Amino acid sequence: MADTPDAIGEFEHLVLLAVLRVGDGAYGVPIRDEIEETAGRSVSLGALYATLRRLEAKGWIAAETVVAPDTGRDRKVVTVTPSGLAAVSQAQARMRRMADGLDHLLGGA
């Protein structure tokens, strides 16, 4: 099975996982913080917002503008759609298949 134009990229994968980890009310800063804390990867907000727009265009996230209770300012919150969840699930399965049998090289990671 070859890559499709909608194949999930590594950073897209991290962003989708971070949105799932943050849960309800996920928006830019907590998503960035989750990636930085959990994956140990530095993330600029510009790169994150560009990726969120791309994921929304692919139909993998849905965005809604809400008023932030703490600041009263508009905030764009995102959720992973069923097709986004399927993309993450397929990517996770693909990585497991590729790593299968390589524990002796990967140190059981």
> Hey, what long-range contacts does 26-30 have (CB within 8 A, 24 or more apart)?
26/77, 26/78, 26/79, 27/75, 27/76, 27/77, 27/78, 28/52, 28/76
pTM reported for the whole predicted model:
0.87
User: What pLDDT, on the 0 to 100 scale, is given for residue 71?
Assistant: 85
Kindly tell me the burial class for residue 109, based on how many C-beta atoms sit within 10 Å of its own C-beta (0-12, 13-18, 19 or more): exposed
Walk me through the domains of the chain, giving residue ranges and CATH numbers.
10-106 (1.10.10.10)
pLDDT band at 56 (very low <50, low <70, confident <90, very high): very high
Q: What is the mean pLDDT of residues 71-87?
A: 94
Q: What is the pLDDT of residue 72?
A: 86
Listed in sequence order, the residues at least 6 apart from 45 whose beta carbon sits closer than 8 Å to its beta carbon are 28, 29, 32
